[in-house]
Amino acid sequence: KAGVTQTPRYLIKTRGQQVTLSCSPISGHRSVSWYQQTPGQGLQFLFEYFSETQRNKGNFPGRFSGRQFSNSRSEMNVSTLELGDSALYLCASSLEAELHYGYTFGSGTRLTVV
Amino acid sequence: QKEVEQDPGPLSVPEGAIVSLNCTYSNSAFQYFMWYRQYSRKGPELLMYTYSSGNKEDGRFTAQVDKSSKYISLFIRDSQPSDSATYLCAMRLATGGFKTIFGAGTRLFVKA
């Protein structure tokens, strides 16, 4: 079966711009989580969506937002980009009935802010 | 202090060695404990998971959880060059969704 698909794979944006990243979870997975990965901070939790509702939120500023659609696909948006937003953004999906399992991650979107 | 502490390494071992990777944590409410492996330019992949305390073995990999000490370990026997990757410990609560706290990751190199 298809894995978690993230698009685009690479992005270069300018400070002050905004960006939207997309994630298609594994078919049947209704939980989608987003993480930011940087060399200095490691994997930091952004938010989790389940059935179009935000269920958990990390400690990121309001410039970071997300949403989930009825087909479980998710997008995250970062407005007013800063240099420090350069990172690998990872999406992960999970099957609610398998809480004892972990995530299936996508390959990520590498965002560079110049 | 971070909720999950993990030595970032790097850790370099010869092929065939036993590798020990460890994490400590501060939140005694964590119930699910996981190890992920991440290769360069890839997302992490789930390697092992354990619920509460105890040991779990899967092939060359053994995961141990000691909740009394707030300490988890991953052992890799007969390590192979293909095991060279970053290993991330992770943990979460039993309820409230899938929000997971990750360690910084340990970079492992297995030399042929």
pLDDT score at A1: 64
B43-56 average pLDDT score: 90
Instruction: State which of A22-31, A100-109, B13-22 shows the largest mean pLDDT.
Output: B13-22
pLDDT tens figures, A17-61: 999 999 999 998 899 999 999 988 899 999 999 999 998 999 999
Nearest residue to A49 (alpha-carbon basis) of A26, A76, A27: A76
More confident position, A29 or A15 = A15
A70-89 average pLDDT score: 97
Torsion region of A16: left, alpha or beta (phi above 0 gives left; psi -120 to 50 gives alpha): left
The beta strand positions in chain A, using DSSP E, are 5-7, 10-13, 19-24, 31-38, 42-50, 53-57, 64-68, 74-78, 87-94, 104-105, 109-113
pLDDT score at B1: 76
pLDDT score at A99: 57
| Chain B: residue whose CA lies nearest to A95 | B98
Per the CB < 8 Å rule, is B44 touching A48?
no
How far is residue B56's CA from residue B74's CA, in Å, rounded to a whole number? 10
Chain B residues closer than 8 Å to A102 by CB: 32, 34, 36, 46, 49, 90, 98, 100
CA dihedral sign of residues A44, A110, A14, A68: negative
Is residue B97 within 8 A of residue A48, CB to CB? The reply is yes
Shortest distance, CA A11 to any CA of chain B (angstroms):
15
Instruction: List the A5-7 sheet strands across, edge first.
Output: A5-7, A19-24, A74-78, A64-68
Q: Does A60 touch chain B (CB under 8 A)?
A: no
pLDDT at A13 over 90: yes
Q: Tokens in use for A2? A: 């298809």
Chain B residues closer than 8 Å to A33 by CB: 98-100
Question: CB under 8 Å to A98, separation ≥6 — which residues?
Answer: none
Indicate the residue type of A75. E
pLDDT tens figures, B72-93: 999 999 999 999 999 999 999 8
Shortest distance, CA A72 to any CA of chain B (angstroms):
15
Per the CB < 8 Å rule, is A102 touching B88?
no
Average pLDDT across chain B, whole number: 93
pLDDT at A4 over 80: yes
pLDDT at A100 over 70: no
Q: Tokens in use for B82? A: 């293909």
Chain B residues closer than 8 Å to A107 by CB: 41-43
